[in-house]
Chain A
Amino acid sequence: MTALALRSLRHRLPAVAATFVAALLGTAMMASFATLLESAGGASGEDQELLIIMGGVVGGWDALIVLFSVASTVGIIADQRIREASLLRTIGALPRQVRAMIVYEAAVVTVVAAAAGAAIASIGGPALFDALQRGNLITSSSTYAGGPASLLAAAGIVALVSTVAAGISSRRATRGPAAFSLRQAEVPARGLRWWRVAIGVGLVTSGLVSAVITITVTGKSDDAYAAMQTSGSASIVVGVGLATLAPLLLRLLARPLRPLLGGSGSGHLAALNTTRRAYLLAGMLAPVIVLISGAVGTLLMVGIDSRTLTAAGDPEGVGDTITTINSVVLGMVCLFAAIMVVNAGVAVVSQRRPELDRLWRLGATSDQLRTSIVMEAAMVAAIGILLGLLGSTATAVPYSIVRHEGLIPNGQLWLAPLIAGLAAVLAVGSAWGAQRRPAR
């Protein structure tokens, strides 16, 4: 099975590339933050505190997005293998062997990608440290002390999460009798597993709790940045929570939107696909939610902060620097989330090639298939924007209240449509690009 796994890797380059990119960039980001945490050990006083906040807290939100994205990508890829898994089983492979092949493959790809990502972070970590120092957030007496420990830990966590995700998804690929799934090339949809619902609901709840704590506790603190520590992560946590529940939410929300797709052949297919195959398209929906929720929530927070900082009292005069750091971190996270939107869009559409081919043989024109896929992507983007904006309020609203701007922030509301538009362009564009030649 090991030899088979390695051979099969070479034949599925696009799928392998998706996993590789997610693990590479994810590890690069996670490990960069991890080096700050390691450097905190040798630093003193306020430097230590800041490095722990940057490495641990900010790095923690970042890790949440990274691990979610890696797990989600590996899941989409494993789902593509149901037919192959069935084929192997009909010629005598045990479900256990097929699962081992899928897990082994994911492990090989992510270990290589994570190692490369750690190498990137060995440059990115010092650069981040240097930026903090030049921004006077930490004194020149502290020195960068990131080493193999933090780099390897981050790479190890990414590889581990990816392997576990492959293990869980591989069970889905080998469920049920082999011949049955071979004929269907698709295991019938089933509801979300209880543990996934529990994780999703838990994350959303914890994000909402942070929001409440921001208003009731940290917002009243003397430290102007206490509120940011509790509310900053709320939109990311809620976003990831909603993304975990994406299949469920897509099914529920796509139904009322179905009439918008119209009664044409393409619209008909898109409407049924979004509701009945929500579990598949959810792979595309999830990163859109995370991108919009995290980016809009945090950017609005940064905007509120810079408008109200003087009034809130900024004794140390660090406001500008914090804004800069927030922007850098946010830029990285947004870029990563944007790449994940494209990654997922391409993977989901590529997975449907056999089905598109079948539709073409039955008389769907290339134009119809194209229109149908774009309609689906647009529907997914619209629902992702709705849920993402909802998630972003978990950060923006409490912070706005705490800084006395009321329920709605006083400015920069144009950020919401801008980021939503960007996410929609990415989602629809990647689906468009992936379907270029659906037939044959």
Chain B
Amino acid sequence: MADHTHALAVEGLTKRHGSGAGAVDALVGVDLSFARGTFTAIMGPSGSGKSTLLSCVAGLERPTSGRVLLEGTDVTSWDEARRTRMRRDRIGFVFQDFSLIPYLSAAENVALPARLAGRRVGAEAMRLALERVGLQSRAGHLPSALSGGQQQRVAIARALIGQPAVLLADEPTGALDSATARDVLALLRSAVDELRQTTVMVTHDPVAASYADMVVFLVDGRVSGRMTAPTADAVAAQLAHLDQLTGVAR
């Protein structure tokens, strides 16, 4: 079974929002697999289904049809509670808005998924997790006392500490300035290189995509192309091309 070599795979993934004449197909039969220890960027114009794909993979939304396989296990039909536990235990999530809990300190935010699972994070593990993102001196600070880049690094530490099967990042640099964004991207890259952390990142930024091993382009809910060893310029050129494609399609 090829599945076992993949941290994550989706087969025939379709997601339809609404019904009848007003129905919108966000994803149409998407097949993708993500090998362990790889960094993949998902790109495409607005409305191409990037974020829906991530939501379906994370169990935030249930696909209309198709399968999501996490480490070879079909999680598609799992109920709400089971998908929540999967998200907590097997998936690390980094959001554009950081999604830190405002009344928890940096360290408490990092420890939160484990606490929700009824576990505690040891002092040494916490020290290492914060050290990895360069925030060991900020453990006790509340998010309001941290800069945007620091908050996103806390969120990355939170996503990594559980050694998830896959780290999903939804526009992780969307709310950051370009210098801070580069730090955050370098951090994600180092997690892939040093921890062999499988990472899937949705982005619209060609520079961000250039940190990945491979770029998958989505157009109108379908995979329209792939690029390995991407550079920012090549990605930008391809995106411009995709915009033309969607223009023709409509």
Which A residues contact B (CB, under 8 angstroms)? 180, 183-186, 188, 264-265, 268-269, 272-273, 276-277, 355, 358-368
Bound form: Cα–Cα A278–B158 in Å = 25
Pairwise interchain contact A265-B89, C-beta atoms closer than 8 A: no
Q: Quick check: is B143 within 8 A (CB to CB) of the other chain?
A: yes
B142 contacts A188, CB within 8 Å?
Answer: yes
Residue pair B87, A363 in contact (C-beta under 8 Å):
yes
Distance, CA A365 to CA B84, complexed state (A) = 6
What is the distance, in angstroms, from B145's C-beta to the closest C-beta of chain A?
8
User: Apart from A265-B118, A276-B103, what 15 extra A-B contacts exist at CB < 8 Å?
Assistant: A183-B148, A185-B102, A264-B118, A355-B102, A358-B99, A361-B95, A362-B87, A362-B88, A362-B158, A363-B85, A363-B87, A363-B113, A363-B116, A365-B85, A365-B116
Which residues of A sit under 8 angstroms from B99, Cβ to Cβ? 358, 361-362
Q: Is the CB of B103 within 8 A of A184?
A: no
A269–B101 Cα gap in the complex (Å)?
A: 10
What is the bound-complex CA distance between A360 and B88, given in angstroms?
9
Which chain B residues border A186 with CB–CB below 8 Å? 102, 144
B108 at the interface (CB under 8 A from A): yes
Structural contact, B103 and A273, CB atoms closer than 8 A: yes
> What 1/0 mask marks residues of chain B from 51 to 83 whose CB sits below 8 Å from any chain A CB?
000000010100000000000000000001100
CB distance from A222 to the nearest CB of B (A): 57
Contact B103 A272 (CB under 8 A): yes
Does B93 have its Cβ within 8 Å of any Cβ on chain A?
yes
Count how many chain B residues have C-beta atoms less than 8 Å from C-beta atoms of the other chain: 33
Cα distance, A185 to B89, chains bound together (Å): 27
Contacting A366 at CB < 8 Å: which of B60, B80, B104, B112?
A: B80
Knowing A188-B144, A361-B87, A363-B84 touch, does A368 contact B116 (C-beta < 8 A)?
yes
Closest residue of A by beta carbon distance from B55? A361
With A358-B101, A362-B88, A363-B88 in contact, is A268–B115 under 8 Å at CB? yes
Q: Report the Cα distance A361→B103, complex, angstroms.
A: 17
Closest A residue, CB atoms, query B58: A361
The reply to whether A361 and B93 contact each other, CB–CB distance below 8 Å, is: yes
Q: B145: which A residues are within 8 A, CB to CB? A: 188
Q: List the B side residues contacting A363 at CB < 8 Å.
A: 84-85, 87-89, 113, 116-117
Which residues of the partner chain A approach B143 to less than 8 Å between Cβ atoms? 184
Interface string of B95-125 (1 = CB under 8 A from A): 1011101111000100011011110000000
CB neighbours of A366 from chain B (8 A): 80-81, 84
Specify which chain A residues have a CB less than 8 angstroms from the CB of B101 in the assembled complex.
355, 358-359
- Give chain B interface residues in 148-192, CB to chain A under 8 Å: 148, 151, 158, 175
Could you say which of A359, A361, A365 contacts B81, with CB atoms under 8 Å apart? A365
- A185: chain B residues at CB < 8 Å are 102
Alpha-carbon gap, A180 to B85, bound state (A) = 32
A355 to B104, CA, bound (A): 12
Rounded to whole angstroms, the CA-CA distance of A415 and B57 in the bound complex is 55
Q: Which residues of B contact A358 (CB under 8 A)?
A: 99, 101
Contacts of A268 in B (CB 8 A): 115
Q: How many Å lie between the Cα of A359 and that of B102 in the bound state? A: 11
Which A residues lie within 8 Å of B175 (CB)?
Answer: 183
With A276-B103, A363-B116 as contacts: A183 and B97 at CB distance below 8 Å: yes
A84 → B minimal CB distance (Å) = 15
Residues of B within 8 Å of A269, CB to CB, are 115
A265 CB contacts on chain B under 8 angstroms:
115-118
Whether the Cβ atoms of A362 and B144 lie closer than 8 Å is no
Give the residues in chain A near B108, CB-CB below 8 Å.
272
Inter-chain CA distance A188–B60, complex, in Å, is 29
- Nearest Cβ distance between residue B19 and chain A, in whole angstroms? 18
Q: How far is the CA of A184 from the CA of B145 in the complex (A)?
A: 10
